[in-house]
């Protein structure tokens, strides 16, 4: 199958990775994995007192359905457990097997193009200014009835960006061959169109 391929999408918090990933997957009929959910699901368990490595090793599909995973306190805890090498190691195999499924896959996260799928034919690094990202996440959370202030969301974004970029293992950074998309002043539709065009170009190159 020439059309099926792996698309790796990375970037900082609330840059639009998930939205672009979901749309690209739907467009091409590929499967989509939000890898941040894995770290959030581990975090939800450690917040109840479980050991992080035990939580990561025992992760089950049902754990990803927990409606509290979107909460800001879980996001903060996720970036803390994501620093632990044994936690990251426990999640690698699932992500790689998802990425190499026959029908094509789109994965979004922090280390997809650099660590999980370094051979992915299409890599995107989606960014936007911290203020714009915080504004979008604030609107999203408020829309879901989660009570937050803009200032607290901006602080969460700053802290997680810093922790994600400065950790030793799998730090957040663009892969050398990633195409950067800055969505600060770009409508989400344009970001999706750019991503779709990139996949189509790679498909044409391969056929």
Residue nearest to ligand CDP (CB): 36
183 labeled binding residue: no
Taking the mean position of all CA atoms in its chain, how far away is CA 66? 17
Q: Please count the residues of the chain.
A: 207
Q: How far is the CB of 205 from ligand CDP (least distance, A)?
A: 27
If the CB atoms of residues 5 and 33 are measured against ligand CDP, the closer one turns out to be: 33
Q: How far is the CB of 183 from ligand CDP (least distance, A)?
A: 4
103 labeled binding residue: no
Residue 31 structure tokens: 């499967």
145 labeled binding residue: no
Neighbours of 182 (CB within 10 A): 15
Neighbours of 184 (CB within 10 A): 12
Q: How far is the CB of 102 from ligand CDP (least distance, A)?
A: 23
- Distance from C-alpha of 187 to C-alpha of 69, rounded to nearest angstrom: 26
If the CB atoms of residues 28 and 138 are measured against ligand CDP, the closer one turns out to be: 138
16 labeled binding residue: yes
193 labeled binding residue: no
Residue 110 structure tokens: 């922090």
What would you measure as the largest C-alpha separation in the chain, in angstroms? 51
- Distance from C-alpha of 16 to C-alpha of 185, rounded to nearest angstrom: 12
If the CB atoms of residues 3 and 27 are measured against ligand CDP, the closer one turns out to be: 27
If the CB atoms of residues 16 and 205 are measured against ligand CDP, the closer one turns out to be: 16
Residue ranges in contact with ligand CDP by CB under 6 A: 11, 13-19, 35-36, 39-40, 75, 78-79, 82, 108-111, 136-137, 140, 160, 164, 183, 186, 188, 191
If the CB atoms of residues 136 and 199 are measured against ligand CDP, the closer one turns out to be: 136
Q: How far is the CB of 65 from ligand CDP (least distance, A)?
A: 15
143 labeled binding residue: no
50: burial class by Cβ within 10 Å (0-12, 13-18, 19+)? Answer: middle
Q: How far is the CB of 35 from ligand CDP (least distance, A)?
A: 4
In angstroms, what CA-CA distances link 156 with 10, 66, 69, 79? 18, 21, 15, 10
17 labeled binding residue: yes
Strands 105-109 and 122-127: unpaired
Binding residues for ATP: 11-19
Binding residues: 11-19
């Amino acid at each position: 199958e020439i059309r099926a391929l792996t698309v790796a999408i990375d970037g900082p918090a609330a840059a639009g990775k998930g939205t672009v990933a979901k749309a690209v997957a739907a467009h091409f009929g590929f499967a989509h994995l939000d890898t941040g959910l894995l770290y959030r699901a581990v975090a939800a368990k450690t917040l109840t007192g479980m050991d992080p490595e035990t939580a990561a090793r025992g992760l089950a599909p049902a754990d990803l359905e927990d409606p509290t995973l979107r909460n800001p306190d879980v996001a903060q805890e996720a970036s803390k457990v994501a620093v632990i090498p044994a936690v990251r190691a426990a999640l690698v195999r699932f992500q790689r097997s998802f990425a190499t499924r026959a029908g094509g896959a789109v994965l979004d996260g922090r280390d997809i193009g650099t660590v999980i799928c370094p051979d992915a034919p299409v890599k995107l690094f989606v960014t936007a200014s911290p203020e714009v990202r915080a504004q979008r996440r604030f609107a999203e959370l408020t829309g879901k009835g989660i009570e937050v202030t803009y200032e607290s969301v901006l602080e969460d974004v700053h802290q997680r960006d810093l922790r994600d970029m400065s950790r030793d293992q799998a730090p957040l950074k663009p892969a050398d061959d990633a195409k950067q998309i800055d969505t600060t002043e770009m409508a989400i539709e344009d970001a999706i169109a750019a991503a779709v065009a990139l996949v189509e170009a790679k498909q044409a190159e391969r056929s």
